[in-house]
Amino acid sequence: MGETVSRFQVGFNKSVKIEARPERITSEAGTLLAREAMETLGLLQFLDERLVDRRNRRQVTHPLSELVATSVLLKVQGLRDHDDADALRDDGAMRLAVSRRKGLDALGTREPQQRERNKNPLHPDGLASQPTLSRMVGMLSTADNREALRDGLLHTASQRIREERRGRRIRYVTLDVDSLPVEVHGKQPGAQYNGHYGVRMFHPLVATIAETGDIVDARLRPGSVHTAHGALDFILPLVDKLEQQICQVASIRMDAGFPDDTVLTGLESRSIPYVARIKKNAVLDDMAAPYLLSDSGVASTEPDDIRFHELTYKAQNWAERRRVVLVTQRRDGELLRHHFFLITSWSTEQIHADSLLALYRQRGTAESRMGELMDVLDPSLCSCPRQKSHYRNNVPQTRYPTCDSFANNEVLLLLSLLGYQVMHTLRTMMQKATGDGWSIRRLRERVLRVGARILVHARRAVVVIERASIRYWEPLFRQLHKLQCAPLGS
């Protein structure tokens, strides 16, 4: 055919040659699985109906929903930089997964001369470029669009949970509220040095459903704010949404940084039950001293001896006294007892101290979910205002206002969380299909990063994956097709 084939030969084995041919080969076949999950959950349709695109429609090449899909799928595949969209511009699997068009139009044309002739804006050749994706972040940075992205997080959880329960809501859920350190390098507005963590960072609030592992909301905050800053305004609207879509009653679980009088009073005024660890202080230690002395005098053969004592406590700035449970513990091989305090709005008749401790200790699962988020998706919050000093070798005549970098970074965080939610959906499906536990890192490495060849026959594209992958893909597709979520608005 006259084509030029690049050849390489390895030195350790002269019988091995490497050739580069113009074939449709991809290492991102797993994007098709991720797009199937997004389609099953109705995520792109949900966002398409709520996101506001202020571009001139006659000049739009890439619809906003496709740009969001591109960004989310890049994060699912472990590609954090928008420049990767340029590198994967002609990747067949990515193009098929991103496009909302039917048929083979998504594959587009392959030869440069054909691309020059393709001027139809409805049939773009290749993925969106890095500048287009960066402009997308700016479009999504408005308050309405960021709220739509947050609602998209809750929507994915609601669709899956209610479909698994045949449309019924869960009776009780526990909402884990925590802060998350996101380290940054640079001078992003809002990124500040935090003495507790010892790094320059953002300090977002994140909410996770304990029973299902879904991350349902997040709010970006400056790096130096207190853990409880803005927590009540974050929790109350989210509880309302949860009780409308997912559960009948939501309770709150928090760590020791959250219990201040504003948060606790606000939860109590709405009759929202909570449990949290409370920091030690001199008054609490004085109250605990007699119990620590009496517990130390009791011999026990148990390797992990735990005892409970019911107290009431009122800090100086609190409006009223509250139930506090003193937990004392002697660990195996140690002479002195450790102790800590739990504060709760539940009465002793509603939940006993041992059950309260068991409930609080399950908080470790939520921390592991956030650890997965930071380890596997590693949100890159890198938006920083910078005006162009030169444009095409000339000083620009018009200086446009800089972007809202803080809002842009919140968009980047929410897009990473949407990627987590897509992977978490696939993870839960894999666990059902195989009966084994799956981390989202294992999911990416075993299931999503799969090589394939794309064959085009008449009006169909056949994606040929390696045979070893079918043992994961086949049961996963069966589980996804069982999860036929109700149409939006039903």
Q: Which residues contact 477 (CB under 8 A, 6 or more apart)?
A: 33, 36
pLDDT in tens, 385-405: 776 666 667 776 666 566 789
d(CA 219, CA 197): 19
Q: Is 381 a residue whose pLDDT tops 70?
A: yes
d(CA 322, CA 325): 10
Mean pLDDT of 212-236: 95
Confidence at residue 118, expressed as pLDDT on a 0 to 100 scale: 47
Q: Is 156 a residue whose pLDDT tops 80?
A: yes
DSSP string, 12-23: S-TT-EEEE-S-
Quickly tell me which residue has 């559960």 as its tokens: 247
CA-closest candidate to residue 78, choices 128, 27, 132: 27
SS3 assignment, position 328 = strand
- Going from the C-alpha of 57 to that of each of 60, 115, 390, the distances in angstroms are 5, 22, 29
Q: Is 459 a residue whose pLDDT tops 60?
A: yes
240, amino acid identity: D
Q: Is 317 a residue whose pLDDT tops 90?
A: no
Q: In what order do the strands lie in the sheet with 460-465?
A: 25-26, 452-457, 460-465
Confidence at residue 424, expressed as pLDDT on a 0 to 100 scale: 95
Q: Which of 113-122, 339-348, 416-425 has the lowest mean pLDDT?
A: 113-122
Mean pLDDT of 145-169: 91
- What does residue 178 show for φ and ψ, rounded to 5 degrees? -150, 165
Confidence at residue 113, expressed as pLDDT on a 0 to 100 scale: 46
Please answer whether residues 428 and 211 qualify as being in contact, where contact means their C-beta atoms are separated by less than 8 angstroms.
no
The count of other CB atoms within 10 Å of the CB of residue 331 is 12
Confidence at residue 400, expressed as pLDDT on a 0 to 100 scale: 59
Q: Which of 35-39, 238-242, 291-295, 438-442 has the lowest mean pLDDT?
A: 291-295
Confidence at residue 71, expressed as pLDDT on a 0 to 100 scale: 94
Q: Which of 262-276, 365-379, 431-445 has the lowest mean pLDDT?
A: 365-379
Q: Is 16 a residue whose pLDDT tops 60?
A: yes
- What does residue 279 show for φ and ψ, rounded to 5 degrees? -65, 145
Confidence at residue 86, expressed as pLDDT on a 0 to 100 scale: 85
Quick one: what percent of the chain has pLDDT higher than 70? 88
Confidence at residue 109, expressed as pLDDT on a 0 to 100 scale: 53
Q: How confident is the model at residue 294 (pLDDT cuts 50, 70, 90)?
A: confident
Confidence at residue 397, expressed as pLDDT on a 0 to 100 scale: 66
Q: How confident is the model at residue 115 (pLDDT cuts 50, 70, 90)?
A: very low
Q: Is 423 a residue whose pLDDT tops 80?
A: yes
Mean pLDDT of 248-272: 94
Q: Which of 111-115, 315-319, 437-441 has the lowest mean pLDDT?
A: 111-115
Q: Is 487 a residue whose pLDDT tops 60?
A: no
d(CA 210, CA 358): 13
Q: Is 334 a residue whose pLDDT tops 90?
A: no
Where b means 16+ CB within 10 Å and e means fewer, 1-15 reads: eeeeeeeeeeeeeee
Residue 268, token pair as written in the block? 């109590």
- What does residue 273 show for φ and ψ, rounded to 5 degrees? -70, 150
The count of other CB atoms within 10 Å of the CB of residue 241 is 17
Q: Is 58 a residue whose pLDDT tops 90?
A: no
Confidence at residue 114, expressed as pLDDT on a 0 to 100 scale: 47
Q: How confident is the model at residue 300 (pLDDT cuts 50, 70, 90)?
A: low
d(CA 457, CA 455): 6
Mean pLDDT of 5-13: 81
- Going from the C-alpha of 132 to that of each of 61, 129, 139, the distances in angstroms are 10, 5, 10
Confidence at residue 417, expressed as pLDDT on a 0 to 100 scale: 96
Q: Taking the complete model, does pTM exceed 0.85, yes or no?
A: yes
Q: Is 383 a residue whose pLDDT tops 80?
A: yes
